[in-house]
Copies of this chain bind each other. A is one copy, B any other.
Amino acid sequence: MSDDENAVRFGILGCANISIKLCKAINKAPNSKLHAIASRSVEKAESFATEHNLPKTVKVYGNYESVLEDDEVDAVYIPLPTGLHVTWAVKAAERRKHVLLEKPAAMSVAELDRILEACEAHGVQFMDGTMWMHHPRTAKMKEALSDAQRFGQLKWIHSCLTYNPGPEFLKSSIRVKADLDGLGALGDCGWYCIRAILWAVDYELPKSVLAFPGAILNEEGVIISCGSSMHWEDGRSATFHCSFLSHITFDLTVLGTKGCLRLHDFPLPFEDNLGYATFLEASELDYAKIEPGMWCPKPNEHVVETQFSQEVCMVMEFADLVQKVKRCEMKPQKTWPVFSRKTQLVLDAVKDSIHKGYQPVQIVS
């Protein structure tokens, strides 16, 4: 945790599992400092602080309001269930706390717009918690996709993000409850797929989406498994599949006319604790160097070293923006809110397509 008195002081609303990761990330980020945590009861917050060895200086609150009332808190991280995002993110913005909001950002783009409007009105920075965006590997992959000589023009993207948390989760987890995380697997997993696809096309919104027939919903109508195709005017297309019913997969494939980029761990590098991450890249330019016995060259494995894990990179990037806003060097940066909003727009359209019986849905920004 930073000794710098200019370090951004974070308050965390909620002691979810993901909060452990963020406590550690805030602790490691040189420009950040954990100032307070809150749970719905002070006992739960204290037990979280003890269990995770939080410094005694961290304030422990028994309700979320207290964090927002604490004048020393610069920014909040909100890992609450999605259904609560709009309430607490808007409240936080109104108290002039900068907002780092766990994904999925909101239950709908209408809700997200209320959050973004509150942030803009009160001059605070907004960012969603899609951590892999901040890994140095992501920037290296974008370089590879931008290399027209090797990759050519982008034609097609596919992403698959699944895990199988088991029957108890499917029965009682908040992630499958309509009033808590009502977007289910589409919000929890599909968010990453949609973001990855938008990232690959430089955030140009598709013209339309068409959900795959056969989405699986639970009794409350929460999506357990679904997928969709996405279509751009110029012929580019993408597909994704997300599910709580299959073994873990974290796949992203981006196909160009001349090359291919592929990885099986895009939201979280397999070697997360080893200081590096990898991705595979192939190009027709490599056909000159086929190894004996092969008819096709092996893809190139690119290794990207990193000093910090992706969640630390995210906190550092967010805190850097917050510091600049605090010092009045800039207004809150708009790129991250726009990425969130586009992701949510597509997510809403996929949900809409499912609810309309798998009809195509046009995207209107």
Task: Using CB atoms and an 8 Å cutoff, list the residues of chain A in contact with chain B.
Answer: 152, 155-156, 158, 160, 162, 164, 208, 210, 212-214, 216, 225, 227, 229, 231, 235, 237, 239, 241, 243, 245-249, 251, 253, 255-260, 262, 264-265, 268, 270-274, 282-284, 293-296, 298, 358, 360
The answer to whether A257 and B271 touch across the interface, beta carbons within 8 angstroms, is no
Given A160-B158, A241-B158, A295 and B270 contact (CB-CB distance below 8 Å): yes
The answer to whether A213 and B239 touch across the interface, beta carbons within 8 angstroms, is no
Tell which of B208, B213, B260 touches A231, judged by Cβ atoms closer than 8 Å. Answer: B213
The answer to whether A214 and B235 touch across the interface, beta carbons within 8 angstroms, is yes
The answer to whether B241 and A214 touch across the interface, beta carbons within 8 angstroms, is no
CA distance A223 to B192 in the complex (A): 31
A152: shortest Cβ distance to chain B, in Å?
Answer: 7
Given A155-B246, A156-B246, A247-B256, A213 and B229 contact (CB-CB distance below 8 Å): yes
The answer to whether B210 and A212 touch across the interface, beta carbons within 8 angstroms, is yes
The answer to whether A214 and B227 touch across the interface, beta carbons within 8 angstroms, is no
| Set of chain B residues within 8 Å of A253, measured between Cβ atoms | 160, 249, 251
The answer to whether A296 and B282 touch across the interface, beta carbons within 8 angstroms, is no
Most buried by B among A214, A295, A358: A214
| Set of chain B residues within 8 Å of A160, measured between Cβ atoms | 156, 158, 253, 255
The answer to whether B283 and A295 touch across the interface, beta carbons within 8 angstroms, is no
Tell which of B210, B212, B259, B273 touches A358, judged by Cβ atoms closer than 8 Å. Answer: B210
Given A213-B210, A214-B231, A255 and B162 contact (CB-CB distance below 8 Å): yes
A233: shortest Cβ distance to chain B, in Å?
Answer: 9
Given A155-B246, A164-B258, A284-B164, A295 and B274 contact (CB-CB distance below 8 Å): no
| Set of chain B residues within 8 Å of A248, measured between Cβ atoms | 260, 282, 284, 296
The answer to whether A239 and B260 touch across the interface, beta carbons within 8 angstroms, is no
- List 11 contacting pairs A-B, 8 Å CB cutoff, sorted by A: A156-B243, A210-B358, A214-B235, A214-B237, A227-B237, A227-B239, A247-B255, A247-B258, A247-B283, A248-B284, A272-B294
CA distance A249 to B281 in the complex (A): 12
| Set of chain B residues within 8 Å of A283, measured between Cβ atoms | 247
Tell which of B213, B235, B284 touches A360, judged by Cβ atoms closer than 8 Å. Answer: B213
Tell which of B231, B268, B274 touches A293, judged by Cβ atoms closer than 8 Å. Answer: B274
| Set of chain B residues within 8 Å of A156, measured between Cβ atoms | 160, 162, 225, 241, 243, 246
